[in-house]
A = this chain, B = another copy of it.
Amino acid sequence: MSKLPVLEIFGPTIQGEGMVIGRKTMFVRTAGCDYRCSWCDSAFTWDGSAKDEIRKMSADDIFNELKELGGTRFNHVTISGGNPALLAGMDALVEQLHDHSIEVALETQGSKWQDWMGNIDDLTISPKPPSSMMKTDFGKLDAIINELRSQDRVEKHTSLKVVVFNDEDFEYAVHVHERYPDVPFFLQVGNDDTSTADDDNLTRDLLNKYEWLINKTMEDARMNNVRVLPQLHTFVWGNSRGV
């Protein structure tokens, strides 16, 4: 059985973002990413700073640790990264969770397809806007969305989420939404201070940015069928890891 590089397993807590915002879930965070976003809030998954914390775990190992932590108090697991879509061997974990009636969410930027992604209950594809300094491969993203469409996964099981830091990012978000109008679409406020420990100021700053993003969206007739959300966990726990 193939081993997966795991950096964090924690919960139960709430999903603070996106299509199942507020959902009670456990988190599994894998190491490794094919991107290097300028404002990555999980840079420790790929910049080497946490490399001694990476554990090579089988699906069984991960499942057992989830059960140890969460007992009977969860039925939803979120796989996050880094980019978990780099890992072909994730199929066994997804199957094992489903066998135990546990739903599975995945967060990925949409740069790679794996066949097990067709079995994800809540799939969030989060292409990165210009401020990240990354370049979206839209040919690849088209292929992924088409694959999901052909498996009838779009309406109920998929969403697109774009993090917005500035006007240029917003235009990028409009482009993504107009390219895939049938995919549920979420705008999310960017957090450009992922190191401060001053939670009150962070909350105030993020609320101001959230209001800015709301106002921009409200004025724009191209962005009617969208949802605009903050990161709730940042309001509650600031920049802490593992909550």
Listed in ascending order, the chain A residues whose CB lies under 8 Å from chain B are 11-14, 20-24, 71-76, 186, 200, 203-204, 207, 210-211, 214, 217-221, 223-230, 232, 235-236
A168 to B165, CA, bound (A): 42
Residues of chain B with a CB closer than 8 A to A235's CB: 207, 210, 230, 235
Residues of chain B with a CB closer than 8 A to A226's CB: 23-24
A/B interface sample: 11 pairs, CB < 8 A: A11-B218, A14-B227, A21-B21, A24-B223, A72-B224, A73-B218, A75-B225, A76-B225, A207-B235, A210-B235, A214-B236
Known interface pairs A211-B236, A235-B207; A224-B76 also in contact (CB < 8 Å): yes
How often does this chain occur in the complex, in copies? 2
* A28 smallest CB distance to B (angstroms): 17
A22 and B21 within 8 A (CB): yes
A126 to B120, CA, bound (A): 30
Known: A72-B221, A72-B224, A73-B224. 7 other contacts (CB 8 A): A20-B227, A24-B223, A24-B224, A24-B227, A73-B219, A210-B235, A235-B235
Majority secondary structure of chain A interface residues (helix, strand, loop or mixed): mixed
Residues of chain B with a CB closer than 8 A to A75's CB: 224-225
Residues of chain B with a CB closer than 8 A to A228's CB: 14, 22, 24
B218 and A21 within 8 A (CB): no
Known interface pairs A21-B229, A24-B227, A235-B235; A221-B14 also in contact (CB < 8 Å): no
Q: A71's contact among B11, B207, B221, by CB below 8 Å, is which?
A: B221
A103 to chain B: closest residue by CB: B225
